[in-house]
């Protein structure tokens, strides 16, 4: 047990300090609020047991996957969190070591820790899969069952039959880190036991990571948002930091402060009028989902015709813009300029009139936008990950990057690559997780297929990597800190059918804090400690150009029978005969001290362990100042080539031409050497739109981080789950604001309230992702869980999740 009584003394000291700092004012207000909360019974029990009734303040953290990580200062009395504050160090200056203030989600952590949905004991399934019927078992039985079944499955099917599912619930942790799979304690355990089937890609960025890899080589870098202070124009394609990067460490804070300084104009291109706009933007240009590449093509058409492209930049740094730099193997007129002007293989000129019909944006507005982007130098052009989470997302991501490329905004201050903003990170040392002896991996999106038809899946058809084909189906799933087993994976009804049959996937182990939709599909359900109940470090925030690490200390003892992931995996390692290799004889705290000692070698400014524990957060500014992506390449492309095959920015990719020629693709799946516009499947003009005429796009909602915090009452009340619909579409269906509607397509049906608002383009409806799936007896969801309506058909190149590409119909309930 790492719960240290000395922590109380350290923390008591801290609460005195916060009194001096004036933190006491809001502290007191919150504390008096806490008196009305339902903890009194346990508090009394604690007092009887003689526990410390003095308040102590312990630094903890919110480690969910929202892109930020926030410190939480837990005020604890008698082993209970009474209220939660956040960072009180630093100031409000974004150029200094500014405060990293938690958003309202993190500040409601108490309501997650003390939630009625908490898993209390290990359990085994007693009904059919997904019915949610369980019976309590001992930890011994849980560990024995997992170990013996795993041994059997490894013997019968091999290690490739054991899959680590995507899960980002505690992505920000070090010991508790839940993703990428290879960096988790479950991976360390499996690597001691012969390995596991890995996955590549992620639900966040599958298409853009794959797409821009061919443009820039590797993960596309971006300028730090602080560099906007040097920009004259900010153009955001489907990028909503006001909602997706909300914390004090977050990007939205930088964008706002840097724009105040530069007075840059801001244009937001999004089917929705987002919170990032909310009066701060200069212009909102609504666009039909999935059509950004058509808009970009027409902007390029105007720029080329009006001589506004940066020709010297294109000649020196790029491949395939025009005849001069087209690779020898490419077809005649295979270059970008020919494609735009209508001299390419499709023979269509990408005029503003052409794009207007596709995107829904007026022709005149497209022409004005082209002139504006080409002349406001430098311009910070970026895309969030909404535009790429589509059926044609790889092409869209590459197309948007064409704007900074055509205008020479790459590699300069105040510019950007067209990717999302970059951020500074520290070389903090992570828990070592050993090598996976199994080389095979599948796209994170195709695990349901790998259960259903694993041995039919091949490299050329399904993107299997490390092998030509899968030899065995998935027989066991480890699902740690993830709700992607059901809630967050697409097409819930298909998943349900596949998981119901326990002859296919024979063992599902879910490790979570709460009884989620995914937890209901477990065979063995293990209750994990929350971040408040153990010691860890939290890091890796997307935070502009200040990086930080949080000492996420143990605030309270584990609740109920919860254990840490380290204890669980160590116990299973013992039963698998690999305990020594797994633990190397260290406890969790000993590991953290060990990793910290190594980190201090890499980051000499880090204080000693105990000082860090007391100070709670360590911050460091990027010594470079503003980060400029591809600065060295811009300065000297010969000395600092990109990692693309040519070393240059590849507008035309020979690698993609080869892939397009050799892969087996479904109808409507387009892979192209150029960043062309292709509608992809289920776009607005799909024949299916006769039956399901509305495009449904998802978005990441401020009420939750995906599904996490989705069961917190006050957050649910503050930000209701509702479907956005334009007044024109609502009127045509007789729907008024606040009324319950049916949203349906061939994959399922959801009932939820309508938000009738001009903040969304006609023809499009939107639903925040992550609501807790709540089906009735007819499998109609009553909570607004979008994944009842999404498809499991993958995007062509990345085999990623096209979560925002959906056609639906809407009607009054
Ligand atoms: N339709 C649609 N679907 C989407 C998306 C979309 O835009 N649209 N977005 C996708 C994206 S980008 C992502 S990243 C995924 C996210 O999907 P997930 O990674 O599944 O994220 P969450 O829904 O937050 O689920 C995290 C789980 O971890 C649990 N958890 C939290 N903290 C802890 C802990 O300390 N220990 C343990 N054991 N469990 C913990 C939570 O209770 C929750 O069940 O969703 C994807 N799904
Ligand atoms: N509050 C909160 N913050 C989060 C998360 C969360 O769940 N809640 N999740 C975190 C995670 S894991 C991730 S991956 C990121 C996700 O970050 P993003 O993927 O950037 O977030 P989204 O909301 O899916 O999409 C951003 C915007 O794109 C718009 N959009 C959708 N389709 C299109 C299109 O075709 N074209 C254009 N131009 N715009 C389009 C949406 O309306 C939305 O406003 O957010 C992170 N931050
Ligand atoms: S949800 Fe994100 S922004 Fe909010 S407190 Fe947690 S880490 Fe910070
Ligand atoms: Mo994500």
Residue 291 CA to residue 680 CA, distance in Å, equals: 10
Q: Does residue 207 form part of some domain?
A: no
Residue 81: both structure tokens together: 């969190």
Residue 150 CA to residue 155 CA, distance in Å, equals: 8
pLDDT at 28: 27
In ligand 3, the atom with minimum distance to the C-alpha of 245 is 3
pLDDT at 131: 95
Q: Does residue 80 form part of some domain?
A: no
Q: Is the CB of 69 under 6 A from ligand 2?
A: no
Residue 193 CA to residue 151 CA, distance in Å, equals: 9
In ligand 3, the atom with minimum distance to the C-alpha of 67 is 2
Residue 420 neighbours by CB under 8 Å, 6+ apart? 208, 222, 239, 382, 383, 384, 385
Residue 353 CA to residue 340 CA, distance in Å, equals: 13
pLDDT digits (tens, 9 = 90+) for 701-723: 999 999 999 999 999 999 999 99
441 and 590 within one domain = yes
Confirm if 250 and 398 have CB atoms less than 8 A apart.
Answer: no
Half-sphere exposure of 548 (CA within 13 A, CB side): 31
Residue 281 CA to residue 240 CA, distance in Å, equals: 12
Strands 379-383 and 441-443: unpaired
DSSP of 525-554, one letter per residue? EEEBPPGGGS-EEE-----TTEEEEEEE--
182 and 218 within one domain = no
749 and 651 within one domain = no
Whole-angstrom distance between the N-terminal and C-terminal Cα of the chain? 53
Three-state secondary-structure class, residue 2 = coil
Q: Is the CB of 66 under 6 A from ligand 2?
A: yes
Residue 806: cis peptide before it, omega within 30 degrees of 0: no
Q: Does residue 223 form part of some domain?
A: yes
* Ligand with minimal distance to 292 CA: 2
Residue 374 CA to residue 404 CA, distance in Å, equals: 9
Q: Is the CB of 552 under 6 A from ligand 3?
A: no
Confirm if 727 and 758 have CB atoms less than 8 A apart.
Answer: yes
Q: Does residue 352 form part of some domain?
A: yes
* CA angle centred on 684, ends 682 and 689, rounded to 5°: 75
248 and 225 within one domain = yes
* CA angle centred on 282, ends 212 and 541, rounded to 5°: 45
565 and 448 within one domain = yes
pLDDT at 30: 31
What's the gap in Å between 237 CA and the centre of ligand 2? 10
Confirm if 509 and 522 have CB atoms less than 8 A apart.
Answer: yes
Residue 233 CA to residue 381 CA, distance in Å, equals: 8
Residue of 108, 167, 244 to test ligand 2 pocket, by largest number of atoms within 8 Å of CB:
244
Burial class (CB in 10 A: 0-12, 13-18, 19+), 589: middle
Confirm if 803 and 490 have CB atoms less than 8 A apart.
Answer: yes
Residue 211: both structure tokens together: 């797409």
Residue of 366, 386, 542 to test ligand 2 pocket, by largest number of atoms within 8 Å of CB:
386
In ligand 3, the atom with minimum distance to the C-alpha of 250 is 3
Q: Is the CB of 390 under 6 A from ligand 2?
A: yes
Residue 384 CA to residue 274 CA, distance in Å, equals: 12
pLDDT at 51: 55
Residue 736 neighbours by CB under 8 Å, 6+ apart? 730, 754, 756
The list of the chain residues with pLDDT below 70 reads 1-52
Residue 70 CA to residue 709 CA, distance in Å, equals: 15
* CA angle centred on 779, ends 773 and 782, rounded to 5°: 45
User: What residues have their beta carbon closer than 5 A to ion ligand 4?
Assistant: 204
Q: Give, as one character, the DSSP assignment of residue 760.
A: B
Q: Does residue 201 form part of some domain?
A: no
320 and 388 within one domain = yes
Confirm if 118 and 111 have CB atoms less than 8 A apart.
Answer: no
Q: Does residue 3 form part of some domain?
A: no
Residue 224 CA to residue 626 CA, distance in Å, equals: 6
Q: Is the CB of 109 under 6 A from ligand 3?
A: no
Quickly count: other Cβ atoms within 10 Å of residue 50's Cβ: 8
Residue of 105, 241, 617 to test ligand 3 pocket, by largest number of atoms within 8 Å of CB:
105
Residue 572: both structure tokens together: 């299973």
Residue 781 neighbours by CB under 8 Å, 6+ apart? 492, 748, 749, 750, 751, 773, 774, 775, 788
Residue 477: both structure tokens together: 């799933």
Q: Does residue 472 form part of some domain?
A: yes
In ligand 2, the atom with minimum distance to the C-alpha of 202 is 14
* CA angle centred on 553, ends 548 and 554, rounded to 5°: 155
| Structural domains counted in the chain | 3
298 and 172 within one domain = no
What's the gap in Å between 205 CA and the centre of ligand 2? 10
In ligand 2, the atom with minimum distance to the C-alpha of 269 is 38
Q: Whose CA is nearest to atom 7 of ligand 3?
A: 69
Q: Is the CB of 390 under 6 A from ligand 3?
A: no
Q: Does residue 479 form part of some domain?
A: yes
Confirm if 560 and 123 have CB atoms less than 8 A apart.
Answer: no
260 and 281 within one domain = yes
Confirm if 309 and 407 have CB atoms less than 8 A apart.
Answer: yes
pLDDT at 11: 33
User: Can you give the CATH number for the domain in which 284 is found?
Assistant: 3.40.228.10
Half-sphere exposure of 485 (CA within 13 A, CB side): 32
User: Can you give the CATH number for the domain in which 569 is found?
Assistant: 3.40.50.740
692 and 773 within one domain = yes
Confirm if 168 and 180 have CB atoms less than 8 A apart.
Answer: no
Domain that holds residue 156: 123-196+433-530+558-604
Q: Is the CB of 790 under 6 A from ligand 1?
A: yes
In ligand 3, the atom with minimum distance to the C-alpha of 100 is 8
420 and 449 within one domain = no
Q: Is the CB of 196 under 6 A from ligand 1?
A: no
Residue 142 CA to residue 66 CA, distance in Å, equals: 32
Radius of gyration of the chain (CA): 26
Three-state secondary-structure class, residue 705 = strand
Q: Is the CB of 384 under 6 A from ligand 2?
A: yes
| Interior/surface letters 391-418, b for 16+ CB within 10 angstroms, e for the rest | bbbbbbbbbbbbbbbbbbbbbbebbbbb
pLDDT at 22: 28
459 and 502 within one domain = yes
231 and 279 within one domain = yes
Residue 610 CA to residue 600 CA, distance in Å, equals: 13
Quickly count: other Cβ atoms within 10 Å of residue 503's Cβ: 5
Q: Give, as one character, the DSSP assignment of residue 445.
A: T
* Ligand with minimal distance to 291 CA: 2
* CA angle centred on 698, ends 809 and 171, rounded to 5°: 150
Residue 531 CA to residue 155 CA, distance in Å, equals: 36
| Strand ranges inside 87-201, DSSP E | 123-125, 134-136, 162-164, 198-200
User: Can you give the CATH number for the domain in which 779 is found?
Assistant: 2.40.40.20
pLDDT at 33: 30
């Amino acid at each position: 047990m790492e719960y240290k009584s000395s922590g109380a003394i350290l923390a008591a000291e801290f609460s005195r300090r916060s009194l001096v700092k004036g933190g006491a004012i809001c502290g007191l207000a919150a504390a008096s609020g806490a008196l009305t909360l339902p903890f009194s019974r346990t508090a009394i029990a604690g007092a009887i047991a003689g526990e410390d009734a003095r308040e102590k303040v312990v630094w903890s953290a919110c480690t969910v996957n929202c892109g930020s990580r926030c410190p939480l200062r837990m005020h604890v009395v008698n082993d209970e969190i009474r209220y939660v504050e956040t960072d009180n160090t630093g100031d409000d200056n974004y150029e200094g070591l500014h405060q990293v203030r938690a958003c309202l989600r993190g500040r409601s952590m108490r309501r997650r820790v003390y939630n009625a949905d908490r898993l209390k004991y290990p359990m085994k399934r007693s009904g059919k899969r997904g019915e949610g019927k369980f019976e309590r078992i001992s930890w011994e039985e849980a560990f024995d069952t997992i170990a013996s079944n795993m041994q059997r499955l490894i013997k019968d099917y091999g290690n490739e039959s054991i899959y680590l599912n995507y899960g980002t619930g505690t992505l920000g942790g070090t010991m508790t880190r839940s993703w990428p799979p290879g960096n988790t304690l479950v991976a360390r355990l499996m690597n001691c036991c012969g390995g596991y089937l890995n996955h590549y890609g992620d639900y966040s960025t599958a298409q853009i990571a794959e797409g821009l890899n061919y443009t820039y080589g590797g993960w596309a870098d971006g300028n730090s948002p602080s560099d906007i202070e040097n920009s004259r124009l900010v153009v955001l394609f489907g990028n909503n930091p006001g909602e997706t990067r909300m914390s004090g460490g977050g990007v939205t804070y930088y964008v706002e402060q840097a724009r105040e300084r530069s007075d840059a104009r801001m244009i937001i291109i999004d089917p929705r009028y987002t919170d990032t706009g909310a009066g701060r933007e200069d212009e909102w240009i609504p666009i039909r989902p999935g059509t950004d590449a058509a808009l970009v093509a027409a902007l390029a058409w105007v720029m080329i015709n009006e001589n506004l492209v940066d020709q010297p930049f294109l000649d020196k740094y790029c491949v395939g813009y025009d005849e001069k730099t087209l690779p020898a193997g490419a077809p005649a007129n295979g270059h970008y300029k020919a494609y735009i002007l209508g001299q390419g293989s499709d023979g269509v000129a990408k005029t503003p009139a052409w794009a207007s019909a596709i995107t829904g944006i007026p022709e005149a507005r497209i022409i004005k936008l082209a002139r504006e982007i080409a002349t406001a130098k430098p311009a910070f052009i970026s895309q969030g990950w909404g535009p790429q989470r589509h059926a044609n997302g790889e092409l869209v991501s590459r197309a948007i990057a064409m704007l900074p490329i055509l205008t020479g905004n790459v590699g300069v201050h105040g510019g950007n690559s067209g990717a999302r903003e970059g951020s500074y990170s520290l070389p903090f040392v992570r828990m070592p997780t050993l090598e996976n002896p199994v080389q095979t991996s599948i796209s994170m999106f195709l695990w349901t297929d790998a259960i259903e038809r694993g041995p039919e899946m091949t490299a050329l058809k399904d993107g299997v990597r490390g092998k030509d084909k899968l030899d065995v189906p998935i027989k066991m799933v480890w699902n740690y800190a993830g709700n992607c087993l059901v809630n967050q994976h697409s097409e819930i009804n298909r998943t349900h059918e596949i998981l119901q049959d326990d002859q296919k996937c024979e063992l599902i182990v879910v490790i979570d804090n709460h009884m989620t939709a995914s937890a209901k599909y477990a065979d063995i359900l293990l209750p994990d400690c929350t971040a408040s109940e153990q010691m860890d470090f939290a890091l890796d925030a997307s935070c502009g150009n200040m990086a930080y690490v949080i000492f996420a200390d143990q605030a309270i003892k584990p609740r109920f029978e919860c254990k840490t992931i380290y204890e669980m995996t160590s116990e299973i390692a013992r039963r698998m005969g690999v305990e020594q290799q797994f633990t190397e004889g260290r406890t969790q705290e000993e590991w953290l001290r060990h990793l910290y000692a190594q980190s201090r070698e890499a980051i000499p400014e880090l204080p000693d362990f105990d000082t860090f524990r007391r100070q709670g957060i360590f911050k460091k500014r990027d010594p470079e100042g503003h980060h400029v992506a591809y600065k060295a390449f811009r300065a000297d492309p010969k000395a600092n080539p990109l990692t693309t095959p040519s070393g240059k920015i590849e507008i035309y990719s020979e690698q993609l031409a080869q892939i397009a020629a050799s892969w087996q693709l479904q109808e409507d799946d387009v892979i192209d050497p150029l960043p062309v516009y292709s509608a992809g499947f289920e776009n607005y003009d799909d024949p299916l739109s006769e039956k399901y005429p509305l495009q449904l796009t998802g978005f990441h909602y401020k009420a939750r981080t995906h599904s996490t915090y989705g069961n917190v009452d006050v957050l649910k009340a503050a930000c209701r789950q509702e479907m956005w619909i334009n007044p024109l579409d609502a009127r045509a269906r007789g729907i008024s604001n606040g009324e319950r509607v049916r949203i349906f397509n061939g994959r399922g049906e959801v009932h939820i309230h309508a938000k009738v608002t001009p903040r969304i383009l006609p023809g499009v409806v939107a639903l925040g992702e992550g609501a807790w799936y709540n089906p009735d007896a007819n499998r109609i969801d009553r909570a607004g869980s979008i994944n009842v309506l999404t498809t499991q058909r993958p995007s062509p190149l990345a085999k990623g999740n096209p979560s925002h590409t959906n056609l639906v119909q809407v009607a009054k309930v």
